[in-house]
Structure 1
Amino acid sequence: MRKGLTLLLLTAAIALVCWAVFRPRTDLQKVRQHYANDSLKLAAANFLLDNMDDKFAYAGKEIERFDTIFGLFNRCIVKEGDLQPDPQPVVELWDSLTAAGGNFNIRRLDKLYDERHLTAAFIEDNIDAAFDAWQSIPDSVITKDFRMFCEYVLPYRIGREIPEQSRRRLFSQYRGMRDTMMTDISKAWKVMDNLLRRKLGYKNSQLLWRYPVSMSVSQFEKARRGACLHVCEYYVHVLRAMGIPATIDFVDSWGNRGGGHCWVVAMKDSTRQFAIDALSGRSFRFTYKPAKIWRRTFSKQNVEETAYGHVPPGLLDPYRIDVTDKYKDTHNFTISCDASLAGKLSNKPYAVLCVFDRDRLVAVDYGKVAGVGRFCFHGVAGGNVYIAASYDDGKLSPISAPFLLDNDGTITMITASGTERQTMKLKRKYPRFKRMETFARSMQRSRVEAADNAAFKGAVTLMTVKAIPHDVNDSTISCTKKYRYIRWKMLDDHSGNIAEVMFFGKHTSGGNELPLKGAVIGSPASSGGQTAPFRNAMDGDYATYFSKRVGEVSFVGLDLGAGNEAYLTRVKFYPRSDTNFILPGDNYELLIWANGKWTSVGRQVAKGHELTFMNVPKGALYLLRDLTKGNEERIFTYEKGKQVWR
């Protein structure tokens, strides 16, 4: 009997502890009572409380370990005036923290659930401040849609940050910016950029990409720095504090390159919404092609319960909605699996839609079965190559051939020919995206000059860059006089970049062309903390570069030396780039997608800046891999003798 009584008491004690730890805070129920006589605020309170059950913030010793980072950012920026995105003392502190305790590990973090840690007073103040800001905006600026208010103004958090009572302070702090926005909410991006980036010095930080959790408002304001997600979350806090509906839209995986992106959206009403690329100096526009676009919500969305176990868990996030059609034309379509797999898939209720990231599949959506071996997908953006897959035990397995969903909804299956062969000439393993094009464009109007004196007094212009340069540029020069000094000169009133320049010439009019050699000369002597940065343009390394600022007198060249003058015959030059063009000496492998997997069709060491592969099956999806170095690779088709990036 004593044992039974002891067991009963122990069970009761455990139950009491569990109840104390996991019960919702009865204090929060006071919020409903507080607004019993105000139906609108009571509805708002119900919205928050009804959607609070699994909301939490990350906390614990791992957060505390890195908390000193924010204070040091603040000291460097405010007290020492260091406006670098990542001041050196901060980088050194981060390195010392990771050396002592390892990289930031999200699995070590505790979870502080809102139901157990937020007070009624906090929720009430949040509700009152949200209403005050929202109701003070003229109806002509923001449509007073209560559902939109609840979802995109009222919430006290946007990510996993520690909630803070910051609404009223942010409203007061940014009141002037709010007044400016009231004249034209579509220009919110410009108003916020002028204040936050230009005046207050907020910047994106490469270092804080390694800080994988949300920042509180006060943490971000200390650092004035953050990764893309941190900046977006702060923008949303500011907009909501001003009464403007806002949230984060995002792409998990691009359709034509790896990775994703997030941005802020401010809303005038349910149809007029304005995307903001935080701290970019412009409104948001797509640089890459999206497959699916999602929007964060505070309320829990309906998820198909039957899909669990059949699709990756990330596709069943209940706190997001599909907004692809707000940005792009979308398409519904049905895909048939390979005939040989129809029997194996007879019991599969769902299939997964994937894009390619290098050589792996990345899930972007899922669709229901629409007949034996057929699956239907909805609301998908065109312009990308997709492939259907099944999901079993955490693994994606392809069940269809890759296919191009064109912008008009046309589907073209991509399959390797069994009989037709082709010769392929390849110049890159990865697309030259807009950023690389920008670097190349900065070389326009640069010129090659020659002179008889080190000051280049009376210099002769032998060549001017007129078109946007390619990855590799080889230009013939007509020169009737021998010169001792030659240089690549960039415009003083523009920024500029060059990765490598090589001069060729003859020492006698009938002699052989040779690479010219001499003492490297250039200007400026130092820039950005780097001594003689111009040397990067003549170090034989395509990955290093010489970058100049607006207003700098910048050039790089050679002093051939007395008695070593030459006729300049040719110049070879390379813009600053991602070095994903073909690099001489590197070992490359060409792969094709066939029979549900990547298959090698050959390897070769590059002798120049172009590869030639012969007897390759036509019509396939291809991938070129540099086995020597680098990890950026992208699928492509081969059409009319050229690589077409997908």
Structure 2
Amino acid sequence: MQPLRYPRSRQQLRAKPDIEQVKADYLIHQIDQAFRLWTTSPWLENLTFDDFLEYLLPYRIGNESLDYWRDSIDLRLKNRLQEASLYFDNQKHSPYNMAQIVYGHALGLDYGNDNLVGIPISTKECVFSSQLQLLAYRMAGIPAAIDHVPCWADMNGFHEWTVIIDTKNKDILSGQIEMKNAPKVYRRTYSANPIPIPEEDEYIPPFFTDPFNRDVTDKYLHTSDVTITASVPVQTRHAYLAIFNGRELRIVDWSKVQQDKFCFHSMGPDIIYFPVYFEKEYQRNLTYPFILQANGITVKLRPDTTRRQTLILTRKYPLHHNKVYHGNALIGAIFQASNDPTFRNATHIHDVTRNPNMYPVIVPVDTTKKYRYWRFNHSKIVELAEWKFKDNRGRDLTGTIIDPEGKGARLANLFDNDPLSHGRVSHQLIVDFGHPVCISEMIYLPRNDANGIYPGNEYELFYFDLNGWQSLGCKIATGYSIEFENIPSNAVYWLRNHTAGKEERIFTIQNGKQRFW
């Protein structure tokens, strides 16, 4: 099944309808197995026939290989489920509680094989792990489905996960979208759902030619309906909402045209949406992008070229909470200088008292004093991206690296002017310049994502209008921030790094600061 994950491989495959391939005895076996579970499992006593058809009966979940996967249940797991159904009154009437047994048993799969129905078992990709969980749940008689966010609205990528269908509990597993912004959540179903019906040669985006995605956004989020009024060509029958993901606009919802009005339902909040339509396969802008606030109010982002501003930018991608622990680890470290290799009577230069949060820290140094040795000293093992020294003319100074414990790793990376590389410092690191030198500035940078502004990198700023992304010029950064002048206000902006990196997010300016979306 793995080639289906990659578009180029998918194009090489030939579709074969199940009705031409599936044998009668295979279907009969699958149906008998599912009905046996439904009628004998106490946790399914309240499962409706419709939910049985949708979440337990299906003989397949996608395009995986067809085999007798319901017979693959591990004997130990089967015995545990039977024991629970006989004796554990607090579990046996709840699909959700019984699912915990399955999950706790490592899904009950036979790890002697490297795949199940062609799905790789030893994988951490959410696409495959959710499919494996779904098969494991259904083979154990647990009604379940796969929910997915086709593209995040505040970061790149997508996500899929498995949900348990339980009439008593919410069919949501926590921890899937709470810390991210989802424009839409869809559930993969076996039955068909409404999709846009093309007229004549109208182009429909591929995602919405698949009828097996059901909108379940309002099960997860406080959603809002959005109505847009805009003129479109007479032949246009459908409009769409897109979000910025992976450095392009990706479609997330659709609407029929009704007298130049478009109604979009159950949209996720705190997101910038781009209304678009298609002329053949070419995506066109319908009107200006807008922010959908949590209270349901929309704020249109129409660039104001009469009110211009100067922007000082420090990042091209938001700083996420899960990336700041490298900076936290630096707190408590000290930097010292000395002309004695043992650092007796060392001069105290700097204390790390707060998290740098992936930003470089520039420490001015008294240039009237000269030191041969500089030391980083800490009680912890930490990771640094850069440790730089400049003289009073701004030139980089280099010395010999000394690792007192001999337990550091990749230490040369701290001096390679590459913010994305990093080294591990084991408590202490010393730089020997060979003779006393004047240092005017010391700079250190914690391990980071290289999404800041860095000297020597080329950046280009864009803003969005009805004709798409408009360039506001390119600049080579000379420091750790970059300034752009004469910029239209009230717009959506996009800062690109043409030198390095891939992660980039759109932003607005609020109270003079970047607000990433």
TM over 0.5: yes
- Which amino acid is the alignment partner of residue 251 of structure 1? V
Query: 1:131: Cα distance to partner?
Result: 3.7
> C-alpha separation between the residues in 2 aligned to 1:418 and 1:122?
66
Change (3 A) 1:123 1:440: farther
> C-alpha separation between the residues in 1 aligned to 2:75 and 2:348?
58
Query: 1:536: Cα distance to partner?
Result: 2.0
* CA RMSD of superposed structures (Å): 3.9
Query: 1:439: Cα distance to partner?
Result: 4.0
Partner of residue 216, structure 2: 323
Change (3 A) 1:401 1:153: same
SS at match of 1:579: coil
- Which amino acid is the alignment partner of residue 197 of structure 2? E
Change (3 A) 1:482 1:613: closer
Partner of residue 415, structure 2: 538
More deviation in 106-115 or 601-610? 106-115
Is residue 265 of structure 2 the alignment partner of residue 378 of structure 1?
A: yes
Query: 1:607: Cα distance to partner?
Result: 0.8
Query: 1:442: Cα distance to partner?
Result: 4.1
- Alignment partner for residue 470 of structure 1, among 357, 366, 371? 357
- Which amino acid is the alignment partner of residue 329 of structure 1? H
Partner of residue 431, structure 2: 558
- Alignment partner for residue 294 of structure 1, among 175, 181, 186? 186
> C-alpha separation between the residues in 1 aligned to 2:28 and 2:75?
19
Change (3 A) 1:559 1:137: farther
Judge conservation of contact 1:250–1:261 (CA < 8 Å) in 2.
Answer: yes
Q: Which has the higher helix share?
A: 1
> C-alpha separation between the residues in 2 aligned to 1:304 and 1:514?
62
Change (3 A) 1:435 1:185: farther
> C-alpha separation between the residues in 2 aligned to 1:200 and 1:447?
52
Query: 1:334: Cα distance to partner?
Result: 1.0
Task: Give the alignment of 1:396-407 within 5 angstroms.
Answer: 396-407=283-294
Change (3 A) 1:148 1:193: closer
Partner of residue 119, structure 1: 23
Query: 1:618: Cα distance to partner?
Result: 1.4
Change (3 A) 1:253 1:330: same
> C-alpha separation between the residues in 2 aligned to 1:538 and 1:188?
55
- Alignment partner for residue 263 of structure 1, among 143, 151, 161? 161
Query: 1:475: Cα distance to partner?
Result: 5.2
Is residue 132 of structure 2 the alignment partner of residue 217 of structure 1?
A: no
Query: 1:570: Cα distance to partner?
Result: 5.8
Query: 1:424: Cα distance to partner?
Result: 0.8
> C-alpha separation between the residues in 1 aligned to 2:444 and 2:13?
50
User: Alpha-carbon deviations, 1:538-575, whole Å to 9, x = none?
Assistant: 32211111258xxxx454432345xx357988642222
Partner of residue 350, structure 1: 238
SS at match of 2:418: coil
Change (3 A) 1:475 1:617: closer
Change (3 A) 1:413 1:104: closer
SS at match of 1:154: coil
User: Alpha-carbon deviations, 1:10-39, whole Å to 9, x = none?
Assistant: xxxxxxxxxxxxxxxxxxxxxxxxxxxxxx
Unaligned residue ranges in structure 2 (runs of 5+): none
- Which amino acid is the alignment partner of residue 640 of structure 1? N
Is residue 141 of structure 2 the alignment partner of residue 249 of structure 1?
A: no
Judge conservation of contact 1:418–1:617 (CA < 8 Å) in 2.
Answer: yes
Partner of residue 302, structure 2: 415
Query: 1:432: Cα distance to partner?
Result: 2.1
For this pair of structures, how many residues does the alignment match? 504
Partner of residue 25, structure 1: none
- Alignment partner for residue 385 of structure 2, among 493, 496, 499? 499
- Alignment partner for residue 393 of structure 1, among 280, 288, 292? 280
Partner of residue 376, structure 2: 487
Change (3 A) 1:557 1:301: same
- Which amino acid is the alignment partner of residue 26 of structure 2? F
- Which amino acid is the alignment partner of residue 187 of structure 2? R
Partner of residue 197, structure 2: 305
Change (3 A) 1:189 1:596: farther
Judge conservation of contact 1:584–1:605 (CA < 8 Å) in 2.
Answer: yes
Query: 1:136: Cα distance to partner?
Result: 4.8
- Which amino acid is the alignment partner of residue 419 of structure 2? Y
SS at match of 2:383: strand
Change (3 A) 1:266 1:616: same
Partner of residue 363, structure 1: 251
Task: Give the alignment of 1:276-295 within 5 angstroms.
Answer: 283-295=175-187
Query: 1:580: Cα distance to partner?
Result: 1.6
Judge conservation of contact 2:455–2:480 (CA < 8 Å) in 1.
Answer: yes
> C-alpha separation between the residues in 2 aligned to 1:200 and 1:192?
13
- Alignment partner for residue 155 of structure 1, among 55, 58, 81? 58
> C-alpha separation between the residues in 1 aligned to 2:487 and 2:395?
37
User: Alpha-carbon deviations, 1:165-194, whole Å to 9, x = none?
Assistant: 122332535347755994886678987776
Judge conservation of contact 1:311–1:352 (CA < 8 Å) in 2.
Answer: no
- Which amino acid is the alignment partner of residue 619 of structure 1? N
User: Alpha-carbon deviations, 1:29-69, whole Å to 9, x = none?
Assistant: xxxxxxxxxxxxxxxxxxxxxxxxxxxxx79xx89xxxxxx
> C-alpha separation between the residues in 1 aligned to 2:122 and 2:342?
44
Change (3 A) 1:117 1:446: farther
> C-alpha separation between the residues in 1 aligned to 2:69 and 2:341?
61
> C-alpha separation between the residues in 1 aligned to 2:334 and 2:458?
34
- Alignment partner for residue 451 of structure 2, among 573, 580, 594? 580
TM-score if structure 2 supplies the norm length? Answer: 0.83
SS at match of 1:174: helix
Q: Which has the higher strand share?
A: 2
Change (3 A) 1:536 1:389: same
Partner of residue 26, structure 1: none
More deviation in 473-482 or 116-125? 473-482
Judge conservation of contact 2:66–2:117 (CA < 8 Å) in 1.
Answer: no
Unaligned residue ranges in structure 1 (runs of 5+): 1-57, 64-101, 203-214, 277-282, 506-510
> C-alpha separation between the residues in 1 aligned to 2:395 and 2:145?
61
Query: 1:295: Cα distance to partner?
Result: 0.4
- Which amino acid is the alignment partner of residue 543 of structure 1? L
User: Alpha-carbon deviations, 1:604-623, whole Å to 9, x = none?
Assistant: 11111111111111111111
Is residue 187 of structure 2 the alignment partner of residue 314 of structure 1?
A: no
Task: Give the alignment of 1:24-39 within 5 angstroms.
Answer: none
Partner of residue 626, structure 1: 497
More deviation in 423-432 or 357-366? 357-366
Query: 1:306: Cα distance to partner?
Result: 5.2
Partner of residue 129, structure 1: 33
User: Alpha-carbon deviations, 1:478-523, whole Å to 9, x = none?
Assistant: 899967351254625xxx4321123569xxxxx9998664221337
Judge conservation of contact 1:623–1:633 (CA < 8 Å) in 2.
Answer: yes
Query: 1:142: Cα distance to partner?
Result: 7.8
Larger Rg belongs to: 1
Query: 1:336: Cα distance to partner?
Result: 1.9
Change (3 A) 1:514 1:314: closer
Partner of residue 608, structure 1: 479
Query: 1:369: Cα distance to partner?
Result: 2.5
Judge conservation of contact 2:384–2:422 (CA < 8 Å) in 1.
Answer: yes
